[in-house]
Amino acid sequence: MKSSFDEKLMETVLGEAVTELLEAREAVTWHALLDKLHIKINTTTDTRRLQAGTQAIEHIRNEMRQRLSLAEDSDGTVLFAASCTKNY
């Protein structure tokens, strides 16, 4: 089980990635967020932030899978086009 500190650090790292995208006036998409998190974990030397970044990536991937599964019927037929992109 994750500690409260680990959960908050994951949310902080995720929030930092979103903020960086917004400040750069880039679209906040699932893929842009994953790219930003990969950069963050590849440049950190802090093991806790590395772990938090890795958990954030897994969290986003799980969310993407869940949304994709909601867009498909039980036989795999796509019921609607699910968009994971949101421009602000």
Per DSSP, the residues of the chain read: ---HHHHHHHHHHHHHHHHHHHHTT--EEHHHHHHHHHHHHHH---HHHHHHHHHHHHHHHHHHHHHHHHTB-TTS-B-S----EE--
User: What pTM does this model have?
Assistant: 0.74
What is the arithmetic mean of pLDDT over 18-29? Answer: 96
What is the arithmetic mean of pLDDT over 67-83? Answer: 61
Task: Count the domains in the chain.
Answer: 1
CATH number for 75: 1.20.5.5260
Domain with 30, as residue range(s), is 4-86
The one-letter code for the residue type at 51 is Q
Give percent of the chain above pLDDT 70. Answer: 77
Q: What is the pLDDT of residues 26-62, one digit of tens each?
A: 999 999 999 999 999 999 999 999 999 999 999 999 9
Kindly tell me if the per-residue pLDDT of 87 is higher than 60: no
Kindly tell me if the per-residue pLDDT of 84 is higher than 50: no
